[in-house]
Structure 1
Amino acid sequence: MAFTITMLSWSALEFPGRMPDELDRVREAVRWGTDYLLKASTSLPDALYVQVGDSIVDHKCWQRPEDMDTPRTAYKVTPSNPGSEVAAETAAAFAAASLVFKKIDRDYSKTLLRTAKMAFTFANENRGNYNDSLPSVVCPFYCSHSGYHDELLWGSAWLYKATRNSSYLDFARSVLIDDDCDTFSWDNKLPGARVLLSRVSLGLVVRVQNFHWWKGAERFACSILPESPTVSVKYTPGGLMYKMKGSNLQYVTSSTFLLSTYARYLKFSDRTFKCGSLVVTPILLRKQAKKQVDYILGENPKRMSYMVGFGDRFPRHIHHRASSLPSIQQTSAPIGCNEGFTSLNSPDPNPNILTGAIVGGPDLSDEFEDNRHNFAQSEPATYINAALIGPLSYLAVKFPS
């Protein structure tokens, strides 16, 4: 959820003029998330609440949200049982959102920024892996594979952007992560942090000598551009970037966001860069972003839109409880934990269309099984959607050739 809010906020900050009719809705979605995160942060600096409900128990039930009767146990990270990944990401979400509301709700913005600082201090001073503190809660569904240093870098980058306090920039410079990564996701923030910080080293904020975050941002771009000699991700025959089997479109939308954002940075700084002999221009990055977005929306071998409710052909059997079960208006009687599996196993289309949701998407061969049991392909997630808001807004306005 925190990554979702950070990406929604970044979209609103990066592309506000390109979504004038939707900006209020984005702000509403951001506030919905930050209101919840604020409630989860009321015990800082002693604790940060990070999950409600037992993942294992919840996955054994197929119920509507109105009928959920599984235990609502609240789990927290503390100084003695730390979770730097989730705490630093929560700090990033608050810091990013504070900028969204800075000019329209100053008191709320100040509250968000104050809590961002507390969450970041909590994450940094009580360093430890989320997995180690809450292993049975976090895994196997949301294990952190990248560790917490990328989140510390990400959180400090957002706090620098929100405060312009050089101490956060100094902290970012001190977080030594030598590795490159071709994946930007809720788990690994390294490419996102480098793109965000590249605004500084490109001189779009204030030039910082001898520290070139743009180099890391450009190596990331080279690792995902199909024409690049150093490309490390795969592409389907139809042209979709393919990173992993589980919910692959999350990596497509997040990478496309970074390509869209960095294209703007290059344009404003009047720069190009090279991947070997390939000259990368803002137009090239935009074209690649557009190819990925167009694929998601239906320009693919299956002629399938992977955004539910968009176009004539889209997934009808998505892995989503409330979408697959009869609505409470249709069936007011509670649906029990096991009773709901009748709907999960039904061959019928979902009775409720989850309009706008983006599912996990096709496999490496461009094949897609519209089946609720195939959750790797048919499950939607907020972090898939949140990263696409920016590219959609970016592409909605004509780019000069």
Structure 2
Amino acid sequence: MATNKLLFSVFLLLHLASFHSVSSKGNPNYADALAKSILFFQGQRSGKLPPDQKIKWRSNSGLSDGSAANVDLTGGYYDAGDNVKFGLPMAFTTTMLAWSILEFGGKMSGQLSEARAAVKWGSDYLLKAATQTPGKLYVGVGDPNSDHSCWERPEDMDMPRPVFSVSPSNPGSDVAAETAAALAASALVLQSQDRTYAQRLLLAAKDLMGFAMQYRGAYSDSVRVACPSYCSYSGYKDELLWGNAWLYRATKNITYLNFINSLGANDMADIFSWDNKFAGARVLLSRKTLVDKDKSFEPFRFQAEDFLCRILPNSPSKTTQYTPGGLIFKLSSANLQYVTSISFLLTTYAKYMTSSGHTFSCQNVLITPNTLRTLAKKQIDYILGQNPQGISYMVGFGTFYPQRVHHRASSLPSIANHPSHIGCQEGFQYFFSGNPNPNLLTGAVVGGPDQNDAFSDTRTDYTHLEPATYINAPLVGSLAYLAGRYGSG
């Protein structure tokens, strides 16, 4: 392990000079980063891969998923560097990809069809999970404990793949409402391509939202294996707010607005993630007052701006820590997920403010759209290499990026290069190897540096080296905005 760190240090020194010369010329190539951030989702695909699959070192996997419950749960995404499929992070990923397109699809240029395909890969799976068995929502495939005891390609999985679900007797308001949000947002994105399919998504979303509201409870109380990885730490009120907000946007039905007003969801937040949706819901609802000029939504604008004042570095009410290099720092594990999700909200709220010429104040500090965009851009630029380490945290972007990503499929030889089965325990020789991953997981954003901007490219360090779909999904929207404004840098 010490040798790995020495090699990393040498590699860092060799590339620092080139990083500074490149970054001093201007902006990163946002258009390239956007294309790669979307391509990453192909590396996370489960199921039978389509003919136009571009990440060729991946093959079909999980083709019997769902068989333990006599249903078809093939497809969807592996959430991170392992081979399990959890509905809560997958639904959040799908919602954020869809929201990215709704707000910034016009700036995606040639990447719009690829982004839509990424949304549909998620919505296809979530629709199956929601409609296969009346009264049940399937929320997980694969046991994380047995999965984590193996280091195995998804194409080689041979351990049991149990199936987990929620129902009226085992409620899961959070995962049901998040899945409803994902299906509703996907319907808005895909209706211009296939109206019938979009109607199916919306019908399933309405059913799920009704279930989430009627049978209250946190899904991780019903599905114990969700903890600790995807426990519902924030409870389910935030997802009820978020899900109803998306159903209201998709249907304009006043029933969902009445639900929103009845929730009393006044919890303050200075974070936004697959677990905690309060800030996202309030920004989404603020669109009604800032863009549509509906003043009855003003309370959500006040709450959204309270959130933003907790983030902005010069705000008197800031509750957010920053690294010495200027990166938002929330939690030590996979911190970049919070950076990308918060940056998306900054960029989106700035868009809404611009549409109405709106400004606001954090106590005595005036906040303009440019205030928010400047901070968001700084965060994205940091991820793409403008940071004290001079490293791009997006795999395959720039000249210097993580080589030993904590990701099973990427770190093991592909089926094409090693057709024979690699067993559960046999794979650990690759896990502990100091060699770079043999397969490039293009576009993957890893967990990122620590609170002091330090980073070591060590595969065993999953808190900093593991990518995840919910890190990339919000990044797509911010990169689309930046690519539209600055082009290729």
TM-score range, shorter chain: over 0.9
| TM-score (norm. length: structure 1) | 0.97
Measure, in 1, the Cα distance between the counterparts of 2:286 and 2:125: 31
Q: After TM superposition, list the pairs within 5 Å mapping 1:91-106 onto structure 2.
A: 91-106=180-195
Is this contact kept in 1: 2:405–2:411, CA < 8 A?
yes
Matched, 1:22 2:111: yes
Give the aligned partner of residue 377 of structure 1. Answer: 464
Q: After TM superposition, list the pairs within 5 Å mapping 1:184-223 onto structure 2.
A: 184-202=272-290, 204-205=291-292, 207-209=294-296, 211-223=298-310
Give the aligned partner of residue 384 of structure 2. Answer: 297
1:236-270 CA deviation, whole Å, 9 max, x = no partner? 00000000001000000000000000000000011
Where does the alignment leave 5 or more consecutive residues of structure 2 unmatched? 1-89
Q: Which runs of 4+ in 1 moved over 4 A?
A: none
1:64-121 CA deviation, whole Å, 9 max, x = no partner? 0110011111111010001111110000000000000122210011011001001111
Measure, in 1, the Cα distance between the counterparts of 2:319 and 2:133: 41
Measure, in 2, the Cα distance between the counterparts of 1:50 and 1:25: 26
Measure, in 1, the Cα distance between the counterparts of 2:459 and 2:485: 38
Give the aligned partner of residue 172 of structure 1. Answer: 260
Matched, 1:345 2:440: no
Matched, 1:77 2:172: no
Residue 217 of structure 1 aligns with an amino acid whose one-letter code is: A
Alignment RMSD: 1.1
Give the aligned partner of residue 46 of structure 2. Answer: none
Measure, in 2, the Cα distance between the counterparts of 1:78 and 1:267: 43
Give the aligned partner of residue 211 of structure 2. Answer: 122
Measure, in 1, the Cα distance between the counterparts of 2:455 and 2:265: 37
1:19-45 CA deviation, whole Å, 9 max, x = no partner? 121110011011111111111112454
Matched, 1:327 2:405: no
Where does the alignment leave 5 or more consecutive residues of structure 1 unmatched? none
Measure, in 2, the Cα distance between the counterparts of 1:71 and 1:82: 25
Shift of 1:208: 4.0
Q: After TM superposition, list the pairs within 5 Å mapping 1:250-329 onto structure 2.
A: 250-329=337-416
Question: Aligned residues, how many?
Answer: 397
Measure, in 2, the Cα distance between the counterparts of 1:45 and 1:268: 43
| Structure-2 change in CA distance of 1:37 and 1:210 (3 Å) | closer
Identity across the alignment (%): 57
Measure, in 2, the Cα distance between the counterparts of 1:312 and 1:239: 22
Measure, in 2, the Cα distance between the counterparts of 1:259 and 1:367: 25
Measure, in 1, the Cα distance between the counterparts of 2:358 and 2:235: 33
Shift of 1:166: 1.1
Residue 282 of structure 1 aligns with an amino acid whose one-letter code is: P
Measure, in 2, the Cα distance between the counterparts of 1:7 and 1:386: 6
Give the aligned partner of residue 154 of structure 1. Answer: 242
Matched, 1:392 2:479: yes
SS at match of 2:139: strand
Measure, in 2, the Cα distance between the counterparts of 1:292 and 1:118: 38
1:158-181 CA deviation, whole Å, 9 max, x = no partner? 000000111111111111122211
Shift of 1:209: 2.6
246-255 vs 390-399, greater mean Cα deviation = 390-399
Residue 20 of structure 1 aligns with an amino acid whose one-letter code is: S
Measure, in 1, the Cα distance between the counterparts of 2:105 and 2:395: 25
Residue 92 of structure 2 aligns with an amino acid whose one-letter code is: F
Measure, in 1, the Cα distance between the counterparts of 2:111 and 2:359: 31
Is this contact kept in 2: 1:301–1:366, CA < 8 A?
yes
| Structure-2 change in CA distance of 1:383 and 1:190 (3 Å) | same
Measure, in 2, the Cα distance between the counterparts of 1:384 and 1:398: 22
Shift of 1:17: 1.1
